[in-house]
């Protein structure tokens, strides 16, 4: 569920009209619902409650400090994939939040930084990384806790660019060799193989892959313990799907049903790393129509949000629902099916100002006739929207707003032209 709804043909976020936010903060604008963020975190907490899980919010999905701080205030730790994300997690707090460090290319400096700041666990993705962590830990005179990330080699289950547990991807240790890698560090004075990690990709709309992965995980934990590793953590990652098209996503309890038996059988501490599931449906991207045109038999809506603001459609061919913020009474207030033929609409491409043919938010989408100045809402944009935004074409990144009930506040100001060049060395001086 989310807290974006139409009332009398005006889109609201919680109790605030989105048009009011656009007028106050400008466009393009990311708008987040605090109630939705907390709801989805709590859904996971409740579904897995019997295992007393450590839920580490995935900073890469949306690392805004206000959102991360909200997660920490409601009991979450953090999943990070770089030193910069680790720093964000620390700034968000609380000071005792558990931080899990994933990613295939951790530098020695990042490893040292994490160890200095009491990282809870490294998710290890290769044999060389395992030994690199051991070497840094030895120089520092500390013990590094690691979870071996295994690629369970499951059938394809999501987009090829976000499926991380099929044969041949860069992530994790092959399931055929992970035990040999683990055997090589038995008795290592500065490494503790404390866990097994398994992230299957994202977004996943079926619980079956988690069942298959968890079953393989149980067998591997048994073998790791036989080798002498005191494995106490089972990290099943994240990847739970969300509503992009209709109501296609599963409740968190469906995933819990498949994962919890493995937790019980192994007696491990469960760690989860959700990001999209929490923040995806909690955010929208609001844009304003700049121009419309018809050419080559196609109709275009040119609005002020572009691929630099939301790259998912260009990068993944992803679908986001799009509808006017204040739809006229000639069309449905909110369609039940955005992919069907909708009375009062015509097929149009929704594109941005970026100088690329690949700059689009939707193609051949059923939309009402739109005019210069009208507002559009791009739904389910909270995850991997602002997090992947860029300054391509020297465009200033959007502002971000958090809505709490009937109030709203700026949580990231809109960039300025000065910001675009602030970090560059002026060679003319």
From the annotation, which residues make up the binding site?
239, 273-276, 312, 316, 356, 384
| Structure token pair of residue 10 | 């005006």
With beta carbons less than 8 A apart as the criterion, state whether 306 and 53 touch: no
Instruction: Say how many C-beta atoms besides its own lie within 10 A of residue 135's C-beta.
Output: 15
Task: Kindly state the greatest CA–CA separation across the chain.
Answer: 72
With beta carbons less than 8 A apart as the criterion, state whether 9 and 368 touch: no
Among residues 176, 192, 264, 257, the alpha carbon closest in space to that of 231 is found at 192
Given the residues 268, 355, 396, 427, select the one marked as catalytic.
Answer: 355
Name every residue whose Cβ is closer than 8 Å to that of residue 12 and which is 6 or more positions away in sequence.
4, 5, 6, 18
B/e letters for 398-418, b = 16+ CB within 10 Å, e = fewer, are bbbbbbbeeebeebbebbeee
Based on the residue annotation, tell me whether 355 is a catalytic residue of this protein. yes
Alpha carbon distance 9, 270 (integer Å): 44
With beta carbons less than 8 A apart as the criterion, state whether 153 and 201 touch: no
Phi, psi of 208 (to 5 degrees): -60, -45
Among residues 172, 165, 181, 264, the alpha carbon closest in space to that of 224 is found at 181
Is omega for the bond preceding 28 within 30 degrees of 0, making it cis?
yes
Q: Distances from the Cα of 20 to the Cαs of 79, 286, 377, in angstroms?
A: 34, 11, 13
**DSSP notation for 392-424:** GGGPPPPEEEEEETTEEEEEEPPP-HHHHHTTS
β-pair type (298-303, 233-235): unpaired
* Helix (H) or strand (E) run with residue 290 in it: strand 283-295
Binding-site residue ranges for substrate: 276, 312, 316, 356, 384
Alpha carbon distance 266, 78 (integer Å): 24
Handedness of CA 206, 209, 212, 216 (dihedral sign): negative
Burial class (CB in 10 A: 0-12, 13-18, 19+), 161: exposed
Alpha carbon distance 273, 59 (integer Å): 9
Catalytic positions are 355
């Amino acid at each position: 569920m989310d807290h974006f709804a139409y009332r009398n043909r005006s889109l609201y976020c919680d109790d605030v009209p989105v048009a009011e936010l656009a007028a106050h903060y400008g466009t393009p604008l990311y708008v987040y619902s605090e109630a939705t963020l907390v709801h989805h975190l709590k859904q996971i907490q409740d579904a897995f409650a019997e295992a007393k899980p450590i839920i580490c919010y995935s900073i890469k999905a949306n690392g805004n400090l206000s959102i991360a701080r909200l997660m920490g205030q409601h009991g979450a730790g953090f999943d990070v994939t770089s030193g910069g994300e680790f720093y964000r997690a620390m700034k968000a707090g609380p000071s005792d939040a558990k931080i899990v460090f994933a990613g295939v290319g951790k530098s020695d400096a990042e490893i040292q930084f994490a160890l200095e700041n009491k990282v809870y666990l490294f998710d290890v993705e290769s044999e060389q990384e395992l030994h690199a962590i051991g070497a840094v830990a030895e120089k520092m005179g500390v013990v590094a806790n690691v979870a071996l990330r295994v690629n369970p080699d499951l059938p394809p289950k999501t987009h090829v660019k976000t499926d991380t547990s099929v044969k041949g991807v860069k992530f994790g240790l092959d399931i055929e060799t992970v035990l040999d890698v683990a055997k090589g560090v038995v008795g290592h004075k500065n490494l503790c193989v404390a866990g097994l990690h398994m992230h299957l990709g994202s977004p996943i709309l079926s619980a079956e892959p988690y069942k298959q992965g968890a079953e393989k995980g149980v067998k591997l934990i048994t073998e790791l313990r036989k080798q002498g590793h005191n494995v106490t953590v089972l990290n099943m990652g994240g990847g739970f799907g969300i509503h992009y098209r209709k109501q296609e996503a599963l409740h968190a309890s469906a995933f819990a049903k498949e994962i919890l038996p493995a937790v019980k059988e192994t007696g491990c501490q469960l760690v989860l790393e959700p990001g999209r599931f929490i923040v995806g449906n909690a955010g929208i991207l609001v844009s304003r129509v700049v121009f419309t045109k018809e050419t080559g038999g196609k109709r275009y809506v040119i609005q002020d949000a572009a691929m630099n603001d939301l790259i998912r459609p260009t990068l993944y061919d992803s679908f986001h629902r799009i509808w006017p913020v204040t739809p006229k009474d000639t069309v449905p207030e909110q369609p039940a099916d955005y992919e069907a033929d909708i009375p009062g609409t015509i097929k149009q491409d929704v594109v941005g100002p970026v100088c690329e043919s690949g700059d689009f938010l939707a193609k051949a989408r059923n939309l009402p006739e739109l005019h210069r100045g009208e507002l559009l809402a791009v739904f389910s944009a909270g995850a991997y929207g602002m997090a992947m935004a860029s300054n391509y074409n020297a465009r200033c990144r959007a502002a971000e707003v958090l809505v709490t009930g009937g109030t709203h506040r700026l949580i990231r100001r809109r960039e300025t032209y000065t910001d675009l060049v602030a970090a560059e060395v002026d060679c003319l001086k």
